Amino acid sequence: MKEKESEAPVNLLPSPNESPVPLQTEKLDQAGKMLGKKIDEVGKGASRKVGKWITAKAFWGISWLKLISCLLLLVLVVLVERMVRYFLLRKLQLQSEDKRAVQWWRLFLKALSKPLSLFIRIYGVYWALSPILGYFNAADGSNYVHHVASKVADLGGTVALFWFIYRFVNVVDLQLRKWAAQTESTIDDMLVPLVGRTLRVFILIIGGIMVVQNMTGIEVGPLIASLGIGGLAFALAGKDSIANFLGSLTILLDKPFQVGERIAIDSYDGFVENVGFRSTRVRTLAGHLVSIPNEKIINSTLENIGKRPYLRWQTNLTITYDTPPEKVERAVHIVEGILENHEGMREDLPPRVYFNAFNDWSLNIAVFAWYHPPNYWDYQAWIQKTCLEIMRRFKEEGIEFAFPSQTVYHVNEEKHLELQVLRDKIV
């Protein structure tokens, strides 16, 4: 007489409407049922050749044949996992010999190797044990063992999926760091790690939410949406942080400045020391460290002083009005001679000197000169030397510098009265 085999109730299997998982275990359950039937069919013939012990019940109504079959299936899962891992490692070794460029397929395989092994082990063990999971029904018809096994399999599959994504981000982040180290941009060296760190935190949060959903069956999305005003307040509180993060990405892509360069933005003028997730730190010329939100940097007019190709010197030399034209012309030639082929001159930007204006109290000589390279302190030393030379040459030529002055006309009071009386007589 045949003994009726118990099977797990359908309502205990994971429902398609439950949280999404990499692989629905109900499909493995169906495969396990088919495999169990095949084992039973084989057992009928094997009992005649090997003996009836092969179909005898070991415990919980499970035959020895099914136990042995499940054990062999477990060995098969281990062999398949080892073969897949060996294939991936071999493929990585072959592709790692090519050092020419970043190979995204190699990065994908490197990130996939360990999570795929976990995926095969989790679902492989569940599939190998699926023919006997239906035998653990309780008196009320529930199957706690089957339910826990399916939950563990779904949980392991979810962990394997997000582990792969996390490893892929790590591998890509490592390659991006190597790329940033090879570029001249110092912004890349700071912002690339920030981007990778942000992506990893985001993956961990999403993965944690998925694990909670698989463990409890609670839909986290509607729960967050049900927070109402609290959720809205949380979103508004994070608005500035998101804007600053997007600002850091804009700085990374647009590269308006490099770390160490001098910039001027709003009322701040100084050298960039660090570009962070939320703000950029600038050391002002007064020595103060100022943190400027990245959102403000991308929405404000920024002057990159560090990228100037030269320093321009523009000044006005004022000489007295009683200077004759010959000496005015001589003054222009003196300044031109001093600036000719100066230490910071470049051929495409020669110095310019012109007598160009009659001021209220002086004659004006305009001077324009460009200094290369834009080293500020070398430039200051050159200006000092040039100004001293101009003073010496003007003194030798008797050319006097003008200073603000005005002429005052004094009227004699008695003479003014005589003129007034004479005017009255005429009238």
Q: What is the pLDDT of residue 9?
A: 38
Instruction: Give me the percent of the chain exceeding a pLDDT of 70.
Output: 64
203-216: average pLDDT: 76
Q: What is the pLDDT of residue 161?
A: 85
Q: What is the pLDDT of residue 383?
A: 96
Q: What is the pLDDT of residue 155?
A: 81
The most confident of the ranges 68-72, 133-137, 167-171, 374-378 is: 374-378
**Strands, E assignment, 276-384:** 279-284, 289-293, 302-304, 311-319, 352-358, 363-371
State whether residue 59 is helix, strand or coil: strand
Q: Has residue 305 got a pLDDT over 80? A: yes
pLDDT band, very low/low/confident/very high, at 312 (cuts 50, 70, 90): very high
Q: What does the DSSP 8-state code read for residue 347?
A: T
- Of 320, 312, 281, 332, the closest CA to residue 383 belongs to 312
Q: What does the DSSP 8-state code read for residue 102?
A: -
Q: What is the pLDDT of residue 5?
A: 40
Q: Has residue 84 got a pLDDT over 80? A: yes
Kindly give, in sequence order, each residue whose CB lies less than 8 Å from that of residue 206, ignoring residues fewer than 6 positions away. Answer: 162
Alpha-carbon Rg for the chain, nearest whole angstrom, is 43
Handedness of CA 246, 247, 252, 253 (dihedral sign): positive
Burial category of 52 from C-beta neighbours within 10 Å (exposed 0-12, middle 13-18, buried 19 and up): exposed
What CA–CA distance (Å, rounded) separates 55 from 53? 5
What b-and-e string marks burial along 383-399, b requiring 16 or more CB atoms within 10 Å of the CB? beebeeebeebbeeeeb
Q: Has residue 2 got a pLDDT over 50? A: no
Please tell me which residue, 53 or 316, carries the higher pLDDT value.
316
Lowest mean pLDDT among 119-123, 222-226, 354-358: 222-226
pLDDT band, very low/low/confident/very high, at 278 (cuts 50, 70, 90): confident
pLDDT band, very low/low/confident/very high, at 188 (cuts 50, 70, 90): low
What CA–CA distance (Å, rounded) separates 372 from 157? 63
Q: Has residue 367 got a pLDDT over 50? A: yes
Please tell me which residue, 340 or 203, carries the higher pLDDT value.
340
State whether residue 258 is helix, strand or coil: coil
Residue 271 dihedral angles phi and psi, to the nearest 5°:
-105, 135
The most confident of the ranges 66-70, 155-159, 236-240, 278-282 is: 278-282
pLDDT band, very low/low/confident/very high, at 310 (cuts 50, 70, 90): very high
Do residues 83 and 75 touch, judged by C-beta distance below 8 A?
no
- What distances in angstroms separate CA 349 from CA 181, 277, 339, 341, one per listed residue? 36, 42, 12, 11
Q: pLDDT, tens digit, for every residue of 94-112?
A: 766 555 545 667 777 778 8
Q: Has residue 146 got a pLDDT over 80? A: no
Q: What is the pLDDT of residue 380?
A: 95
Q: What is the pLDDT of residue 363?
A: 96
Q: pLDDT, tens digit, for every residue of 383-406?
A: 999 999 999 999 999 999 998 876
Q: Which domains, and CATH codes, for the chain? A: 10-215 (no CATH), 239-307 (2.30.30.60), 311-397 (3.30.70.100)
Average per-residue pLDDT for the chain: 77
